[in-house]
Amino acid sequence: MKRLVINGGKPLHGEVYISGSKNAAVGIVAATILANDICVLENVPDVSDIKIMLDVLTSLGANCKREGEIVEIDTRGINTWVADQDSISKMRGSSYLMGALLGRFHKAQVYLPGGCSIGPRPIDQHLKGFSCLGSDNKTEFGRVTCDASNGLFGNNVYLDLMSVGATINIMLAACTAVGNTVIENCAMEPHVVDVANFLNAMGASIRGAGTDVIRITGRRDLHGCTYAIIPDQIEAGTYMVAAAATKGDVIIKNIIPAHLEAISAKLMECGVEVIEGDSGTEFFMHVRAKERPRAVNIRTLPYPGFPTDLQQPMTSLLAVAYGNSFVTENLFEDRFNHVRELNRMGARITLNGRTALVAGVEKLYGAEITATDLRAGAAMIVAALMAEGTSIVRNIHYIDRGYEKLTEKLRGLGANITRVEE
- Measured from the CB atom, the residue of 92 and 259 that comes closer to ligand EPU is 92
Q: Which of 74, 63, 19 is nearest to 44 (CA)?
A: 19
> Which residues ranging from 69 to 98 are in contact with ligand EPU (CB under 6 A)?
92-93
Binding residue for ligand EPU, selected from 39, 251, 331, 382, defined by CB under 6 A? 331
- Measured from the CB atom, the residue of 53 and 101 that comes closer to ligand EPU is 53
Least distance CB 213 / ligand EPU (angstroms): 17
Least distance CB 235 / ligand EPU (angstroms): 10
User: Cβ(62)–Cβ(133) under 8 Å?
Assistant: no
Least distance CB 21 / ligand EPU (angstroms): 9
**Bridge-partner residues for 183, per DSSP?**
157, 214
Q: Is the peptide bond before 304 cis (omega within 30 degrees of 0)?
A: yes
134 touches ligand EPU by CB under 6 A:
no
Q: Which of 392, 374, 372 is nearest to 383 (CA)?
A: 392
> Which residues ranging from 254 to 313 are in contact with ligand EPU (CB under 6 A)?
308-309
Applying CB under 6 A, the span of 164-172, 236-244, 249-257, 281-289 interacting with ligand EPU comes to 164-172
- Measured from the CB atom, the residue of 46 and 249 that comes closer to ligand EPU is 46
Which residues 6+ apart lie within 8 Å of 218 measured at CB? 152, 154, 174, 175, 176, 177, 178, 179, 180, 181, 205
List the x/- string, 100-129, binding to ligand EPU by CB under 6 A: ----------------x----xxxxxx---
Which member of 39, 64, 116, 132 is catalytic?
Answer: 116
33 touches ligand EPU by CB under 6 A:
no
User: Cβ(331)–Cβ(302) under 8 Å?
Assistant: yes
Binding residue for ligand EPU, selected from 163, 176, 181, 197, defined by CB under 6 A? 163
- Measured from the CB atom, the residue of 301 and 361 that comes closer to ligand EPU is 301
List the x/- string, 1-30, binding to ligand EPU by CB under 6 A: ----------------------x--x----
Exposure string over 129-165, b if 16+ CB within 10 A, otherwise e: bbebbbbebeeeeebbbbbbeeebbbbebebeebbbb
User: Cβ(249)–Cβ(243) under 8 Å?
Assistant: yes
List the x/- string, 365-394, binding to ligand EPU by CB under 6 A: ---------xx-------------------
List the x/- string, 168-187, binding to ligand EPU by CB under 6 A: -------------------x
Least distance CB 96 / ligand EPU (angstroms): 8
The residue sitting closest to ligand EPU, measured at its beta carbon, is 165
Q: What does the alpha-carbon distance between residue 227 and residue 176 come to, in Å, rounded to a whole number?
A: 20
Q: What does the alpha-carbon distance between residue 20 and residue 70 come to, in Å, rounded to a whole number?
A: 11
Least distance CB 395 / ligand EPU (angstroms): 14
Active site residue 116: yes
Site of interaction with ligand EPU (CB under 6 A): 23, 26, 92-93, 116, 121-126, 161, 163-166, 187, 189, 308-309, 331-332, 374-375, 402
Active site residues: 116
